[in-house]
Structure 1
Amino acid sequence: MISHNIYLDHNATTKLDGNVLEAMIPFFTEHYENPGSSHLAGLTVDEYIEEAFRQVADLIGCRTNEIIFTSGATESINLAIRGISHGERNHLVTLCTEHKAVLDTVKDHAEKSHLNCSILPVQNDGLADLDLLEQAITGKTLLVSVMLVNNETGTIQYIKEISELVHAKGAFLLCDATQAVGKIPVNVQELGIDLMAFSAHKFYGPKGIGALYVSKDVKSI
């Protein structure tokens, strides 16, 4: 008889690492002051927050001012899709295998903001059909959303090649990297990603915290 559970759902969430818990506890008991305060205690907490920005920026290869902390990847995805400027571009593109957070937001935002959206099929191996994707992206395309690693199949998309197609048409690339950050090397500069969402609880961090990377070239977020 098995005396303990064998947990096989780490793509859904992970256990908080003991080192992370140890690092967090002082901010509930000792360094609890408002970081916006001008007194020494508040300024000290603010310095810790700035260090957190630096650590996250170093993790994904960006500047600290390109990081927005959120409650998690779902909020980051919503902020990216709903917050990016439309201008004359009125077309969103994504894949049918994207997470529900992307698909639902794309459909809802397209309907409410009178945008067009294209949800493309993938190949049998789960990878995007690059020829089909290139055909779908037009001069009216504002945003293309493709996840880096699929949460159900583990498929790793060719994000760098996809970003080249997206940028050639003057559009932006949103990447849901929730299943990638903290598990495989991710560098937004090398991959050509414009916006990227991820969550701490997918790689032994606390629930309720995530981030959105926004390239300095992206406006209206």
Structure 2
Amino acid sequence: MAVYLDHAATTPMLPAAIIAYTEAMGIVGNPASIHSQGQNAKRMLEEAREAVAASVGCEPIEVVFTGSGTESINLAIKGLYWARAPRPRILAPGGEHHATLDTVEWLGQHDGAAVEWLPVDELGRIDLAALEASIEADPGSVALVTLLAANNEVGTLQPVSEVAAIAARHGIPVHVDAVSAYGHVPLDFAALGRSGVSALSVSAHKIGGPVGIAALVLSRSVTVVPLIHGGGQQRQVRSGTQDVAAAVSFAVAASAATHDLAAENERLAALRGRLVDGVSAAVPDAVLNGDPSPTGRLPGNAHFTFPGCEGDSLLFLLDAAGICVSTGSACQAGIPEPSHVLRAMGRSEALARGALRITLGRTTTDADVDAFLAALPAAYAQAARAGLADRAPGR
């Protein structure tokens, strides 16, 4: 059986979430119907909304269920941008997830948005002084600021409250992509809202829930233009019949992911520490990316670059040895390009091609870490030989 170390891409569904999902799928009734079965479905849906709200510290009415984290991000960014027209500027740090990158670039190409990519430091953290300077140059023209809570590739946590406070001084809404952070760091939307955060995106399949349901946490005081028009089932923000079974399963996963968060983070951080030490011993040239401090990164993320190697080569060799890892976001898997995150952090193109992301989760054990460390030396040696051959004269 393969050792699975790609929990940032998706993590196995919790057994309790699977049971809740399958049981709820047997319930008949549209939650928008007024008869008894419809109202029973509505009760289940709203109880699920309450549980998801509790997991992120918001009011239930602020939870808008969507079909994916990508949809939540699109709804937040496009919806805020359109609602604040004709302000053209969108500010975001370099190295954002492609759900954000491609959304704002689309707005730039098709809707006149002026996209400004703000610099990040060598750890992948936003330059707050650059953000403040960009806003103060013309605050009235900024539609919104959007940023990750934690980088999905290198795991670095962003100073979300500080970013929001800067934007709030000028009345600028902030959207936070918390898909990677959800279930790994505490999220308190009420507190973030007091700092100036208007919207926050999370997804169920990152925390042991099903694929196909996510949420946009949207402050009740914020107006967005919807992407989807129809029955207006959720605050006129997102139309469409709501998936009760998926919401119930999402709620189970949300409750499980947050009730023992500190203990699980401590366990994952210890496993990650062993993994990082083992990689450094096995491959001294390997470079650890992101914030090395445990307080500045996701506890289960270990991201390395291996000079002289292609990340894809390492991935395939490790996969052949029964170890599942990634080179970065699953959304970009199979695309032979250097990591745009590492490039934003100032890494060379050659080094950015040698990336490997190892992410741990609730099912990860000491034996899984040991198996990875046992398989790495041979895979690295073979990938390094292939890299030398590719760089040989005449190739």
TM-score interval, smaller chain: over 0.9
3-state DSSP of counterpart to 2:3: coil
Residue 206 of structure 1: aligned partner: 210
Residue 22 of structure 1: aligned partner: 19
State the shift of 1:114 in Å: 1.0
Residue 186 of structure 1: aligned partner: 187
**Is the CA contact 2:125–2:157 (under 8 Å) kept in the aligned structure 1?**
yes
Structure 1: tracts of 5 or more residues without a match: none
State the shift of 1:112 in Å: 1.4
Which of residues 7, 12, 19 is equivalent to 2:4? Answer: 7
Cα shift readout 1:169-200 (whole Å, capped 9, x = no counterpart): 21110100001112211011222321111110
Work out whether 1:82 is the aligned partner of 2:78: yes
Which amino acid letter does the alignment assign opposite residue 157 of structure 2? I
Residue 129 of structure 2: aligned partner: 131
Cα shift readout 1:192-216 (whole Å, capped 9, x = no counterpart): 3211111100010100000001112
Describe how 1:84-99 pairs up with structure 2 within 5 A: 84=80, 85-99=83-97
State the shift of 1:17 in Å: 0.6
Cα shift readout 1:66-96 (whole Å, capped 9, x = no counterpart): 1110011100111111112123422100111
Identity rate of aligned residues, in percent?
A: 36
Residue 63 of structure 2: aligned partner: 67
Residue 154 of structure 2: aligned partner: 153
Higher helix share: 2
Residue 371 of structure 2: aligned partner: none
TM-score by length of 1: 0.94
3-state DSSP of counterpart to 1:171: coil
State the shift of 1:119 in Å: 0.9
3-state DSSP of counterpart to 2:25: helix
State the shift of 1:220 in Å: 2.6
3-state DSSP of counterpart to 1:212: strand
- List 4+ stretches of structure 1 deviating above 6 A: none
Residue 168 of structure 1: aligned partner: 169
Describe how 1:102-121 pairs up with structure 2 within 5 A: 102-121=100-119
Residue 36 of structure 1: aligned partner: 32
Structure 2: tracts of 5 or more residues without a match: 226-395
Cα shift readout 1:148-178 (whole Å, capped 9, x = no counterpart): 0111111001111111011112111010000
- Of 80-89 and 39-48, deviating more is 80-89
Cα shift readout 1:123-149 (whole Å, capped 9, x = no counterpart): 011111100111112221111011001
**Is the CA contact 2:183–2:207 (under 8 Å) kept in the aligned structure 1?**
yes
Work out whether 1:220 is the aligned partner of 2:216: no
The CA distance in 2 between the partners of 1:114 and 1:86, in whole Å, is 13
Structure of higher CA gyration radius: 2
